[in-house]
Amino acid sequence: MTYHSPHSSVVLTNISRRGVLKGLAAGSLVLAAQLPSRALAEYKTGAADMPNGVVSDPHVFITIAPDGTVSILAARAEMGTGAARTTLPMIVADELDADWSRVRVVQSPGDEKTYGNQDTDGSRSVRHFIQPMRQCGAAARRMLEQAASRRWGVPLAEVGAKFHEVVHVPSGRKLGYGELAAEAAQLPVPPASEIKLKDASALRYIGTGKVPIVDLKRHYRRQSYLWPGRDVTGDEVRGGGPPAGSWRRVASYDASDALKVSGVAKVVEIKGTPAPAKFAPLGGIAVIADTTWAALKARNALKITWNDGPNGTYDSGTYRAFLEGQVRKPGKVVREAGDADRSLASAAKVITAEYYAPHLAHATMEPPAAVARMAAGANPAKWEVWAPVQSPGGARGDVAAALGVAPRT
């Protein structure tokens, strides 16, 4: 549900239909600040060149419940560093002057038409979104101050938000954010010229290192979240029966013994994808079963002949020796200036060192899992996918193409 104010460009949105109904009944503030594009034009980051760009009027959702709980939407995928689900929401909370202990983070769905580019790569999340998130938090703070000013009938200059409350400075009167949420929701988002970002000295969280990663304990205990924000991992989703299997090129296989395992529904060969694979599968055998244990037991019962391809005999030690040999050979001259050989020969002292970095896997700590579910009776076919992806937009497009359905608009 979306409410457009007749007085301005306010958009009041809650991503949950049930949450909207609860919020309307309880008088909560559901806010997405739409700000002028000049907020993003203050610096050049290359964000506009990304697929679907950066939304000029950022839909960074803030919900304030009557009890004062602030819910902040995270529109990026969390990669484990805390940037998406801690740093960016923290930036909003800092400008809102919210009590972080009363803030909860809500994961957005994959929807680049609404949120702009969601490719979580290239260390771009904070660089691209710090300014709009600061603007959004500051705009919400201003609206709460305006609501208090109107209720008390005092000049706005006498009112200031401070740590989850709005204070009337001359009298000391206070109102909590939850008490003002419904009234603030009816106000237009102030223009950028009226939004003042905090000075560095007034920041509570940004740059202090005092805010722990939101999901760290849950990740450690293997109770992670999954796009779009459910507190389960892909292999814990029920109703779809997640596949289990090894992703290698298959020469041949025999699934007769695997199909005898109780709880196993089907064994499916997934054809490999020619390079570049992008988001498509590399190929393998998938076991579909009622439980993880049944899938694992059936997987072990599979009789598979693997084709390891040209890199089947790869050895990291051999590869290092190859690299060291290559760097000692004459290289292709791209630009030449001066005479390095002569300078080194005449130098009073020459220091030589070799550095080697071993392979570092850009991989999850556990095997990633995804679940797809087709809505019963939907015409045309409607699919819902849970998947731990860095590029929800790109993955959605590829899945839609593979299933022969149109991406949701």
Using one digit for the tens of pLDDT, what is the confidence trace for 76-95? 888 888 999 999 999 999 99
pLDDT of residue 60: 56
Question: What tokens were used for 283?
Answer: 């190929």
**Is the model's pLDDT at 73 over the cut of 50?**
yes
247 assigned to some structural domain: yes
Residues 54 and 194 in one domain: yes
88 assigned to some structural domain: yes
Find how far residue 396's CA is from the centre of its chain: 15
279: helix, strand or coil? coil
Q: Choose the final residue of a domain: 310, 344, 371.
A: 310
pLDDT digits (tens, 9 = 90+) for 372-403: 888 888 887 888 888 888 888 888 888 888 88
9 assigned to some structural domain: yes
- Alpha-carbon distance of 145 to 381, in angstroms, equals 47
Burial class (CB in 10 A: 0-12, 13-18, 19+), 92: buried
> What residues make up the domain containing 245?
229-310
**Is the model's pLDDT at 265 over the cut of 70?**
yes
33 assigned to some structural domain: yes
Residues 301 and 249 in one domain: yes
pLDDT digits (tens, 9 = 90+) for 214-258: 877 766 554 333 333 444 555 555 543 333 333 357 889 999 999
- Compute the radius of gyration of the chain from its Cα atoms: 27
Residues 156 and 242 in one domain: no
Q: Choose the final residue of a domain: 247, 276, 310.
A: 310
- Name the nearest CA neighbour of 96 among 191, 187, 205: 205
Q: How far is CA 129 from CA 34, 60, 149, 181, in A?
A: 14, 10, 30, 25
Residues 35 and 106 in one domain: yes
**Is the model's pLDDT at 264 over the cut of 80?**
yes
Q: 208-224 burial, b for 16+ CB within 10 Å, e for fewer?
A: eeebebbbeeebeeeeb
355 assigned to some structural domain: no
Q: How far is CA 295 from CA 192, 222, 279, 285, in A?
A: 55, 20, 24, 11
Mean pLDDT (the chain, rounded): 79
Please state the rounded mean pLDDT for residues 59-74: 85
pLDDT of residue 315: 85
3: helix, strand or coil? strand
Q: Which residue has the tokens 């959605």?
A: 396
397 assigned to some structural domain: no
Please state the rounded mean pLDDT for residues 169-178: 97
* CATH value at residue 240: 3.90.1170.50
AA identity, residue 58: P
Number of domains in the chain: 2
Residues 93 and 187 in one domain: yes
**Is the model's pLDDT at 296 over the cut of 70?**
yes
Please state the rounded mean pLDDT for residues 302-314: 84
Q: Contact, 397 vs 266, CB < 8 A?
A: no
Residues 137 and 257 in one domain: no
Element (H, E) at 1: none
Residues 159 and 251 in one domain: no
Residue of higher predicted confidence among 86 and 37: 86
**Is the model's pLDDT at 114 over the cut of 50?**
yes
pLDDT of residue 43: 55
**Is the model's pLDDT at 368 over the cut of 90?**
no
Residues 285 and 164 in one domain: no
Residues 248 and 188 in one domain: no
Q: How far is CA 43 from CA 92, 106, 129, 154, in A?
A: 19, 28, 11, 37
Split at pLDDT 50, 70, 90, the class of 352 is very high
Split at pLDDT 50, 70, 90, the class of 137 is very high
**Is the model's pLDDT at 31 over the cut of 70?**
no
Per-range mean pLDDT, top range of 136-150, 274-288, 362-376: 136-150
365 assigned to some structural domain: no
Residues 252 and 193 in one domain: no
- Alpha-carbon distance of 246 to 367, in angstroms, equals 10
Q: Contact, 180 vs 149, CB < 8 A?
A: no
192 assigned to some structural domain: yes
Residues 103 and 161 in one domain: yes
Split at pLDDT 50, 70, 90, the class of 59 is very low
Please state the rounded mean pLDDT for residues 57-74: 80
Q: Choose the final residue of a domain: 295, 310, 325.
A: 310
Split at pLDDT 50, 70, 90, the class of 66 is very high
pLDDT of residue 238: 52
- Name the nearest CA neighbour of 83 among 105, 98, 102, 67: 105
pLDDT of residue 302: 96
* CATH value at residue 124: 3.30.365.10
Residues 23 and 85 in one domain: yes
